[in-house]
């Protein structure tokens, strides 16, 4: 039976395989350097939430390509601590090209005029405030870098180092790292913690949809949309365009 995949999709899959092969044998820093400076210079970017685990990959990026575009989405509902942490890491690491994205005023007027969409339809809220701004900002790039790790579990337990999303290649350099690996790297390089980490926020998103977790909670994302059948904002979706759930509902 003839393949129903488009030529563009086939080319993307070939590109993903080629990138994976080019990164074979490299550690996270080496893979990041090869992608940003050797294979896709000027055609790659990093997407960062400046959350509790963001400093590691940003530190690596600052060492190999301090002028790489770092796309940061300010939804308008972030913790003030996250905004201060973004500025602190920028200054500490010497990143020179942080680009802060915002939701379209027209989208907000149409779908969230009173700012309470998160309570009625959290998936649509994330789509308007996070996914759409990112899709627009990614248009000039061929590949984007994410900080996702398999140790977060659920669907993330099976993510590859190189994947395809929204017509782009996506690199996850830290895919095999554990929480202990991240902490050790942070200590070795004296990286500052997100201010909310000490207040039992192991994962930080928007204020209305993020809660602290119990000290003995094993799921680092347990405080995100707690009590709801939602664990992903929609930025990280599958090849079929569906939002992936990290935990059972």
Provide the whole-model pTM.
0.88
Where do the domains of the chain lie? 1-209
Q: What is the largest CA-CA distance in the chain?
A: 56
Cβ atoms < 10 Å from Cβ of 199? 10
End-to-end CA distance of the chain: 37
**DSSP track, 103-163:** --HHHHHHH-TTS-HHHH-HHHHHIIIIIHHHHHHTTT-SEEE----GGG-GGGGG--SEE
* Residues involved in catalysis: 233
Q: Please report, in range form, the residues annotated as the binding site for [4Fe-4S] cluster.
A: 125-126, 206, 209
Q: What is the pLDDT along the chain (249 residues), one digit of tens a residue?
A: 445 678 888 999 999 999 999 999 999 999 999 999 999 999 999 999 999 999 999 999 999 999 999 999 999 999 999 999 999 999 999 999 999 999 999 999 999 999 999 999 999 999 999 999 999 999 999 999 999 999 887 777 789 999 998 889 999 999 999 999 999 999 999 999 999 999 999 889 999 999 888 877 777 777 676 666 665 565 544 433 344 433 322
Class of domain 1-209: alpha beta
Which residues participate in the annotated binding site?
Answer: 125-126, 206, 209
């Amino acid at each position: 039976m003839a393949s129903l995949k488009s030529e563009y999709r086939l080319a993307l899959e070939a590109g993903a395989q080629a990138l994976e092969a080019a990164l074979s044998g490299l550690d996270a820093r080496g893979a990041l350097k090869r992608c940003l400076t050797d294979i896709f210079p000027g055609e790659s970017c990093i997407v960062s939430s400046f959350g509790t685990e963001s400093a590691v990959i940003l530190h690596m990026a600052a060492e190999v390509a301090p002028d790489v575009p770092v796309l940061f989405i300010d939804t308008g509902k972030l913790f003030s601590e996250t905004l201060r942490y973004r500025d602190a890491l920028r200054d500490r690491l010497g990143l020179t090209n942080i680009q802060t994205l915002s939701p379209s005023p027209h989208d907000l007027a149409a779908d969230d005029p009173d700012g309470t969409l998160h309570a009625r339809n959290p998936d649509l809220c994330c789509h308007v405030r996070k996914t759409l701004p990112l899709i627009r900002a990614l248009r000039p790039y061929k590949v984007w870098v994410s900080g996702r790790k398999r140790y977060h579990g659920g669907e993330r337990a099976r993510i590859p180092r190189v994947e395809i999303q929204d017509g782009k290649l996506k690199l996850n350099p830290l895919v095999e790292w554990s929480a202990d690996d991240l902490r050790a790297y942070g200590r070795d390089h004296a990286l500052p913690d997100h201010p909310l980490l000490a207040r039992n926020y192991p994962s930080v998103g928007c204020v209305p949809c993020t809660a602290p977790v119990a000290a003995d909670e094993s799921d680092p994302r347990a405080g995100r949309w707690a009590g709801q059948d939602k664990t992903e904002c929609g930025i990280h979706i599958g090849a079929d365009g569906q939002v992936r759930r990290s935990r059972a509902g």
